[in-house]
A and B are shown apart, each in its own frame.
Chain A
Amino acid sequence: MTRKHKRRLSGSASATSLVDQVRRQLSKGDTRQAVKEARVLFRREPSPAHRQLLADACLARAEYLRRAGMLHQAQDTFRELLQLGPTTPETDARTARLRVLLGIPDGAVPSLADLDASLAEQLSDQAMVRPAQVPAVYGDLLAQAARVRESLQAIERGDDQNALDLLQDVGRTSPLADWKLFARGLSAHYAGDAARRDSNWQRLNPQRVAYRIAQVVLVHCGARDAAAVEFDVTRRLRRLEYALVGDEAHRMLNDVAVAMREQRTGEVLRHFRTLVMRHAQSHTSLVTGATEILWKHLVRTGDGARLRQLMNFAPAPVLDPHWHRAEALLLEQDRYIEMNRLEQLWQRYAADLTRVAGLRDDECQVAQALVNLRLARHLKQTLNDCETDRFFGDDGDRPRGGRSPLRKKIVDCYRTALRHYPQLLAAHDELGQLYRDWEQPDKAVSTYQVLLKHFPSHTESLEWLARHFLEADRPLDAEPYIAEMQRLRPRDRHTQILLWNKRLALVQHAARKRNFDLARRELDEAARQPCGPATWLDAIRITIELKAHNLEVAQQLINQYLLQLDEPAVLWMVLESNAVRYGIDRAWKKEFAARLKTALAGPPSTAAAGRMAEFLSSFLQRRVKYTGLATHQRALRAYVRRCQQLTWQQRDLRHVCQYLFWDLDRGLPWSWLDRLACLGTSQFPDNPHFPFYAGSAQMYRGPYRCNIQRATQHFDQALQLNTHAADPLAPELVERAKHALTVLRNHSSLPPGLPFRFDEAFDDLDDDDDYDSSAADLDAEECGEYDGPAGRGARGSSSPAIPHGFPPELRAMMGELLELMANCGAIDPDELYERAAGGDPSRGDRRGSRRPKKKKR
């Protein structure tokens, strides 16, 4: 007792106030102080009231100590209570009850059957929790409680069946029935059967110990909210968590989670390091899972420094034993990727995957293939960037020395991927596409043929191979692919077009071999399911008869078809091209050329322009040439120029725009396409072709004149309309639109005036080298004559090229200045750029500095 307290008790405090104080303390549960003060009070004045007060205090204290498991202290206090002698009947009854519970023998102890139910329950709880406190006279109860405890221990061992067998002797009326329910519920809880657990535990008596334990377990597993429990579970919960091994690790992980939520990354790693140091061995899955989350987070946020910190102490992920993958993925986040480093990392990671704990052997092969595929895609992207975005960034990390080494690397990666996993469809497909882009059709053919061995129903490959062989005038080679397409997709529109093209190719093939009967038969078959304009078939029919020297029949057919046509120009154009392609007499060719010239000289018609444009587009799009194509192009351009003031039908205008789009590569002024496409956009707003062509015209305007915002709007509109269009864009055009949008968005954020050739956006998709190299097939006048200011043959003065290495901060200003100077003719920009870059002005091997080709004639 404190000195202050003693002074108060012995001195000034009155007895009445002390009685009140003891009662207050008892009501507050401060039994220890209440007993002390009651003792002082009773010594000072041993009245019956004070004795009763001391008895109440001792009883409360003994009960409290018993509940707290302090048996000896409880018994001492109880003995002090006994020394007071009998008090009130009510206190005596409580004393008798407590005597039983504390196991203090007092002559005849009532049998279990004589005890009231609540005391029996209390005693049985005690027999379960503290059997030593139960008088030996209750041997049956102790034995039964021992069986229930044994049952609980069996559950702890996982021997649930034995546990339930041990509980069979406990009857429903037994005071241990609650423990039976508890044990059954516990068994169900461990088995994950929440319904069975709840059905048992919901029947527990809330006054019993079993109920309290069950509530703590429920709160711990998250099945019940702590606030919903009638008593305070905090201390019990803490005790349980401490008893379970995982408590500390979970708490520490919680600290990591809190720090991460509050974006205190340094603290995250500090907490996590402690967790790893202490629990990496005992909590492998927890540490591994957290490491997985953390490295991914650091890669996503591009925090390389902290990722390296994490690598220093955390266990490496199962699928990345040396952290190569994490480093590579982090490197990929950079805007300018160090390709050599990335390549090195992915290759090391592929080597790591030869044998990894987390993957089966077959999965290891697939994983290695996927890593090589990813690397190939990155290298391909780098190649594309080099070709389309070469003015931006420093190219120090980019592969130098031309495209060939990089191309070889890309192909090697794809091939390695396929060696690891030959069924990797994406690798076959992308490799084939690459060969197509690089204009290596033979390699593309062999790639797709290998693909078809693994995926015989891959219709895209079948279609491409069939189309390739048809365009190469090898209809017999195309035959098996078309037959397979017919088997797989008999009603598909593409299959029908392929069939039709095959028939036309066979017609030409047979006609050249002078097998006219076969040619006529195939032509009749093609006419039954037409997939192209009837005029084309009519022209072929006439051509076959001319080739067969059936001049009268041919003349009759010409007369007959002329009567049907309102505008004969397209017929003469098709006939003239057929004369070359089918190899009929040159006299006929001249005749058709003369008639075409006459027809074109007449009043212009938009319908005729549309049909001729449709015919020529089919050649330009497929890059198929015939002698006289250039003359036809020139004639059509002149004709379209005369049609500009006329009213257009949607179909004709679309064909003309399509033709101009393909013809722009030949140096046609972009303004034609721009004007007509904008006309189409306003007159036919639902057609996706016109905004696409309008956007393309903007792109061809060159870097300084292109309205980036407008071009972006056009392409966006085209793609949006295309989703529900009746006449959708071809997949190739959709790809072009997406690519153009990427280029436009990449460059829209740059400072104004930065030199940029927009026509390069299409470079990787459409290269005109074949036209350059095979100029002998064209009319000689064609080369160079139509190279306009934005044309590809002539480097437009509006789009000068600044070499790599030129200080980036000066590029914008230099670009504008040079454009002005070049437009005024005051300077040759090539020379100036070369001098500025310290290069040799005479070299002139850059694409941007290509000179206009010389005329052959």
Chain B
Amino acid sequence: MSTNPYDILGLGSEATEAEIRQQYLTLVRQHPPDRDPERFAAIRAAYDQLRDPVTSLEHRLFDVTSHETLESLLARERAKSLPRRIATDVLLSLADE
């Protein structure tokens, strides 16, 4: 398993503080300490690392071991493009075969 805190939290290295916190809370809800103590500890440690501005910046500047792939980037970009509003004409044209 990766030791990169961004990988542990499932975030890209450009994630903001708010996104990091949001993701941390989501993961903690999924892996509470009483049910999944090891995973919780890893998540907590990763969050603590990213909360420290120096460690966080060090990762952003020098870490080339990020396990983000082009596939994950593509999926993220697609997910980002989803909220883009589809033109009504385009939408209604989908009725035709």
Q: Do A and B come from one complex?
A: yes
Chain B stretch 53-90: residues in CB contact (< 8 A) with chain A: 53-54, 57-58, 60-62, 64-66, 68-71, 73-88, 90
Interface of B is mostly: helix
Which residue of the partner chain, among B13, B69, B82, B94, contacts A239 with CB atoms under 8 Å? B94
- A209 B64 Cβ-Cβ under 8 A: no
Enumerate A492-525 residues with CB–CB distance to B below 8 Å.
Answer: none
Cβ B91 vs Cβ A152 within 8 A: yes
Q: In whole angstroms, how far apart are the Cα atoms of A289 and B77 in the complex?
A: 9
Chain B hits for A306, CB < 8 A = none
CB–CB B85/A222 < 8 A = no
Residues of chain B contacted by A293 (CB below 8 angstroms): 66, 68-70, 73
Q: Please tell me if the beta carbons of B53 and A250 are within 8 angstroms of each other in the complex.
A: no
Whether A371 contacts B83 by the Cβ 8 Å rule is no
Q: A155 vs B88: C-alpha distance in the bound complex, in angstroms?
A: 9
Q: Is the CB of A244 within 8 A of B77?
A: no
For the complex formed, measure the closest distance between the CB of B92 and the CB atoms of chain A, giving whole angstroms: 5
Closest chain A residue, CB of each to CB of B72: A293
Measured in the bound complex, the distance between the Cα atoms of B64 and A98 in whole Å is: 65
- A257 engages B69 (CB within 8 Å): yes
> Roughly how many angstroms separate A257 CA and B77 CA in the complex, as a whole number?
14
Within 8 A of B (CB), among A299-357: 299-300, 319, 325, 329
Residues of B within 8 A of A296 (CB): 64-66
Check A10 for interface membership: any CB of B closer than 8 A: no
A271-307 to B contact mask, C-beta < 8 Å, 1/0: 0000000000001011001101100100110000000
Tell me which residues across on chain A come within 8 A of B1, comparing CB atoms: none
- A128 on interface, CB distance cutoff 8 Å: yes
Interface-forming stretch among A211-219, A718-726, A817-825?
Answer: A211-219
- Closest Cβ of chain A to B90, distance in Å, is 4
User: Is there a chain A Cβ closer than 8 Å to B3's Cβ?
Assistant: no
Residues of B within 8 A of A156 (CB): 85-88
Contact with B along A106-137 (1 / 0, CB 8 A): 00000000000000000001001100000000
Q: Which residues of A contact B83 (CB under 8 A)?
A: 190-192
Nearest chain A CB to B34 CB, angstrom units: 27
Are the CB atoms of A158 and B85 closer together than 8 Å?
Answer: yes
A253 touches B94 (CB 8 A): no
User: Is A583 located at the chain interface by the 8 A CB criterion?
Assistant: no
Interface majority SS on A: helix, strand, loop or mixed?
helix
Inter-chain CA distance A243–B53, complex, in Å, is 42
List of A residues within 8 angstroms of B71 by Cβ? 257, 261
Return B27 CB to nearest CB of chain A, in Å: 19
User: For residue B81, which residues in chain A have a CB less than 8 angstroms away from its CB?
Assistant: 244, 246, 250
Q: Quote the shortest CB–CB distance from B14 to chain A (angstroms).
A: 8
Q: Which residue of B lies closest to A254 (CB)?
A: B74
Which residues of chain B are near A424, meaning CB under 8 Å? 54
Could you say which of B74, B80, B84 has the most chain A C-beta atoms within 10 Å of its C-beta?
B74
Binding-face segment, A362-370, A466-474, A695-703:
A362-370
The answer, yes or no, to whether A157 is at the interface (CB within 8 Å) is yes
B interface residues, how many (CB within 8 angstroms): 41
Pick the contact of B61: A213, A240, A325 (CB < 8 A). Answer: A325
Candidates A152, A191, A289, A370; contact of B73 at CB < 8 Å:
A289
Cβ of A236 and Cβ of B94 under 8 Å apart?
yes
In the complex, the chain A residue whose C-beta lies closest to that of B58 is A370
| Residues of chain A lying within 8 A (CB to CB) of residue B64 | 296, 299-300, 329
> Cβ of A147 < 8 Å from any Cβ of B?
no
Check A363 against B57 for contact (C-beta < 8 Å).
yes
Is A213 a contact of B92 with CB atoms below 8 Å?
A: yes
Cβ contact of B97, chosen from A68, A152, A192, cutoff 8 A: A68
- Complex Cα gap A476–B94 (Å): 86
- How many angstroms from the CA of A329 to the CA of B65 in the assembled complex? 12
Q: Could you say which of B62, B71, B81 has the most chain A C-beta atoms within 10 Å of its C-beta?
A: B81
Which residue of A153, A221, A236, A250 contacts B74 across the interface (Cβ within 8 Å)?
A: A250
A547 at the B interface (CB under 8 A): no
A209 to B97, CA, bound (A): 11
* Candidates A240, A256, A289; contact of B94 at CB < 8 Å: A240
The answer to whether A367 and B57 have CB atoms under 8 Å apart is yes
Chain A hits for B82, CB < 8 A: 189, 220-221
A289-B12 contact given A190-B83, A257-B69, A296-B66, CB 8 Å threshold: yes
User: Within 8 Å of chain B (Cβ to Cβ): is A260?
Assistant: yes
Bound Cα distance A564, B60 (Å): 65
Question: Would you call A253 and B73 a contact (CB within 8 A)?
Answer: yes
Q: Name the contact of A243 in the complex, choosing from B78, B80, B87, B96 (C-beta under 8 A).
A: B87
B95 at interface, CB cutoff 8 A: yes
**B93 interface residue (CB < 8 Å to A):** yes
In angstroms, Cα B58 to Cα A277, docked, is 32
Decide yes or no whether A374 CB sits under 8 A from chain B.
Answer: yes
In the complex, A149→B91 CA distance in Å? 11
Chain B residues numbered 11-41 whose CB sits less than 8 Å from any CB in chain A: 12-14
User: For residue A192, which residues in chain B have a CB less than 8 angstroms away from its CB?
Assistant: 83
Question: Using Cβ atoms and an 8 Å threshold, which residues of chain B touch A250?
Answer: 74, 77-78, 81
- Cα–Cα, bound, A243→B93 (Å): 10
Q: Does residue A67 face the partner (Cβ distance < 8 Å to B)?
A: yes
User: Shortest Cβ distance from B52 into chain A, in angstroms?
Assistant: 10
Residues of B within 8 A of A5 (CB): none
- CB-defined contacts of A244 to chain B, threshold 8 Å: 81, 84, 86
Which of these, B61, B68, B78, B93, contacts A367 with CB under 8 Å? B61
Is A3 located at the chain interface by the 8 A CB criterion? no
> 1/0 per residue A380-424: CB within 8 Å of B?
000000000000000000000000000000000000000001001
A299 to B66, CA, bound (A): 12
- Selected from B57, B68, B69, B76, the residue in CB contact (under 8 A) with A366 is B57
Q: Which residue of B lies closest to A223 (CB)?
A: B82
C-alpha gap A363/B59 in the complex (Å): 13
Distance in angstroms from A314 CB to nearest chain B CB is 13
Q: A221-B82, A289-B12, A370-B57 are in contact. Are A213 and B94 (CB under 8 A)?
A: yes
User: Is A240 touching B90 in the complex (CB atoms < 8 A)?
Assistant: yes
Report the minimal beta-carbon distance from A302 to chain B, rounded to whole angstroms. 11
Residues of A within 8 A of B78 (CB): 221-222, 246, 250
Q: Please report the C-alpha to C-alpha distance between residue A209 and residue B96 in the assembled complex, in whole angstroms.
A: 9
A24 CB → nearest B CB, Å: 22
A807 at interface, CB cutoff 8 A: no
Give the residues in chain B near A289, CB-CB below 8 Å.
12, 14, 73, 76-77
Does the CB pair B77–A190 fall under 8 Å?
Answer: no
Chain B residues, CB < 8 A from A222: 75, 78-79
The residue from B61, B76, B79 contacting A319, defined by CB atoms under 8 A apart: B61
Interface membership of A235, Cβ < 8 A? yes
Q: Contacts A244-B81, A366-B53 given: A253-B61 contact, CB under 8 Å? A: no
CA distance in complex: A239, B57 (Å): 43
Quick check: is A69 within 8 A (CB to CB) of the other chain?
yes
- Residues of A close to B92: CB separation below 8 A: 128-129, 149, 152, 213
Q: How many whole Å from B17's CB to the nearest CB in chain A?
A: 11
Which B residues lie within 8 Å of A212 (CB)?
94-95
CA distance A283 to B79 in the complex (A): 14
Which residues of chain A come closer than 8 Å to B86, judged between CB atoms? Answer: 156, 217, 240, 243-244
Which residues does chain B contribute within 8 Å of A254, judged by CB atoms?
Answer: 74
Task: List the A side residues contacting B69 at CB < 8 Å.
Answer: 257, 293
In the bound assembly, the distance between CA atoms of A132 and B95 in angstroms comes to: 16
A292–B64 CA distance with the chains assembled, in angstroms: 9
Please name the residue on chain A nearest to B70 by beta carbon: A257
Can you list 29 pairs linking A and B with CB atoms under 8 Å apart? A67-B96, A68-B96, A149-B92, A152-B92, A157-B85, A192-B83, A213-B91, A213-B95, A217-B86, A217-B91, A221-B82, A222-B78, A235-B97, A240-B90, A240-B94, A243-B86, A243-B87, A243-B90, A246-B81, A250-B78, A254-B74, A289-B73, A299-B64, A325-B62, A363-B57, A366-B54, A367-B57, A370-B54, A424-B54
Report, nearest first, the 5 A-B pairs whose CB atoms are least far apart.
A257-B70, A243-B90, A209-B95, A296-B64, A221-B82
18 new A-B contacts at CB < 8 Å, known A221-B79, A239-B94, A289-B77: A67-B97, A152-B88, A152-B91, A156-B85, A189-B82, A212-B94, A212-B95, A213-B94, A221-B82, A235-B97, A246-B84, A254-B74, A261-B71, A285-B80, A293-B66, A325-B61, A374-B62, A424-B54
